[in-house]
Chains A and B, each alone.
Chain A
Amino acid sequence: MAEITIIGAGVAGLFAAHELSRRGARVRVLDRSGSPGPHGCSWWAGGMLAPDCEGATAEPVVTRLGREAAAAWARVTTVTHRGTLVVALHRDRSELDRFARRTQGAHRLDADGIRALEPDLDHRDGLHFPDEAHLDPRSALADLLADLDRRDVAVERAEATPEDIAGTVIDARGMAAPGLRGVRGEMVVIRSPEIALTRPVRLLHPRHPLYVVPRGDGRLMLGATQLESASCGPIHVRSLLELLSAAYALDPRLAEAELVETGADLRPAYPDNIPRVTRKGRILRLNGLFRHGFLLAPALARQAADLLLNDTKGELVHEDRG
Chain B
Amino acid sequence: MLFYGTELSSRMMLGTAQYPSPAIMEDAFRRSGASVATVSLRREGGRGQGFWDIVRKLGVHLLPNTAGCHSAREAVTTARMAREMFETNWIKLEVIGHSDTLQPDPFGLLDAAETLSAEGFEVFPYTTEDQVLAQRLLDAGCKVLMPWGAPIGSGLGLNNRHGLRMLRAAFPDVPMVIDAGLGLPSHAAEAMEMGFDAILLNTAIAQAGDPALMACAFARAVEAGRMARDADPMSPRDMAVPSTPVIGKAWL
Contacts and interface: CB of A to CB of B under 8 A. Distances in A.
Interface of A: 57-59, 101-102, 180-182, 184, 206-207, 227-231, 238, 269, 271-274
A24 B20 CA distance: 38
B86 interface: no
Contact of B209 (A102, A184, A228): A102
Given A102-B209, A180-B50, A230-B50, A271 B44 contact: no
Interface residues of B, number: 18
Contacts of A269: 21, 50
A184 B43 CA distance: 11
B51 interface: yes
Interface string B21-40: 11110100000000000000
Contact of A273 (B21, B45, B46): B21
B235 interface: no
A118 to B, nearest CB: 28
Nearest to A273: B21
B54 interface: yes
Contact of B20 (A57, A206, A229, A231): A57
Given A102-B209, A181-B51, A271 B26 contact: yes
A229 B47 CA distance: 6
Contacts of B20: 57-59, 273
A231 B20 CA distance: 20
Given A182-B50, A206-B153, A271-B54, A229 B22 contact: no
Nearest to A227: B44
Interface of B is mostly: loop
B21 A271 contact: yes
A273 B47 contact: no
Of listed B21, B26, B47, B50, residue having the most chain A CB within 10 A: B50
B21 A181 contact: no
Contacts of A184: 48
B6 interface: no
Contacts of B47: 229-231
Interface of A is mostly: loop
A205 to B, nearest CB: 12
Given A102-B209, A206-B153, A271-B54, A230 B49 contact: yes
Q: 9 closest A-B pairs (Cβ-Cβ)? A: A181-B50, A272-B23, A273-B21, A228-B51, A229-B48, A271-B23, A228-B44, A230-B47, A271-B22
B48 A228 contact: yes
Of listed B21, B26, B153, B209, residue having the most chain A CB within 10 A: B21
Contacts of A231: 46-48
A59 to B, nearest CB: 8
B85 to A, nearest CB: 13
A177 to B, nearest CB: 12
Given A228-B51, A230-B50, 19 more contacts: A59-B20, A59-B21, A102-B209, A181-B22, A182-B48, A206-B153, A227-B44, A229-B45, A230-B47, A230-B49, A231-B46, A231-B47, A269-B21, A271-B23, A271-B26, A272-B21, A272-B22, A273-B23, A274-B21
Contacts of A206: 153
B21 A229 contact: no
A238 B68 CA distance: 11
A210 B48 CA distance: 23
Nearest to B153: A206
A182 B49 CA distance: 8
A227 B17 CA distance: 9
Contact of B43 (A102, A227, A274): A227
